[in-house]
């Protein structure tokens, strides 16, 4: 069963599932295109870089890449329990 977590991605641990609420079109090969409703597994936050980009894995396509955590891709956070 999923449980609600903080909506601020900076407070969410890697392994959490992000629900995309805004589309994002990748502009380079290392970026991940996202559509509203997609679910992304958070692999790595940008804690060390501070540039507003996260690394994630698309739950449907298994593609991995960078995506923005800022205004372009706001997320609602859910966490899967084992």
For the chain, the domains span 2-80
* Predicted pLDDT of residue 15: 86
CA distances from 10 to 50, 60, 82 (A): 10, 23, 22
User: What's the CA gap between 18 and 79, in Å, rounded?
Assistant: 8
CB 55 within 8 A of CB 44: yes
Question: What backbone torsions phi and psi does residue 31 show, to the nearest 5 degrees?
Answer: -100, 155
Per-residue pLDDT of the chain (82 residues; tens, 9 = 90+): 444 545 555 567 888 888 888 889 999 999 999 998 899 998 988 767 667 888 999 999 999 999 987 533 445 555 554 4
* Predicted pLDDT of residue 58: 95
pTM given for the model: 0.72
* Predicted pLDDT of residue 78: 52
Class (C level, CATH) for 2-80: mainly beta
**Number of neighbouring beta carbons within 10 Å of residue 31:** 15
């Amino acid at each position: 069963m999923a449980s609600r977590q903080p909506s601020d991605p900076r407070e969410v641990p890697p392994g959490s599932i992000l629900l995309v609420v805004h589309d994002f079109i990748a502009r380079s090969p290392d970026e991940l295109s996202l559509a509203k409703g997609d679910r992304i597994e958070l692999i790595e936050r940008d804690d060390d870089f501070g540039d507003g980009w996260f690394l994630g894995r698309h739950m449907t396509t298994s593609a991995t890449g960078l995506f923005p955590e800022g205004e372009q891709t706001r997320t609602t956070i859910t966490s899967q329990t084992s």
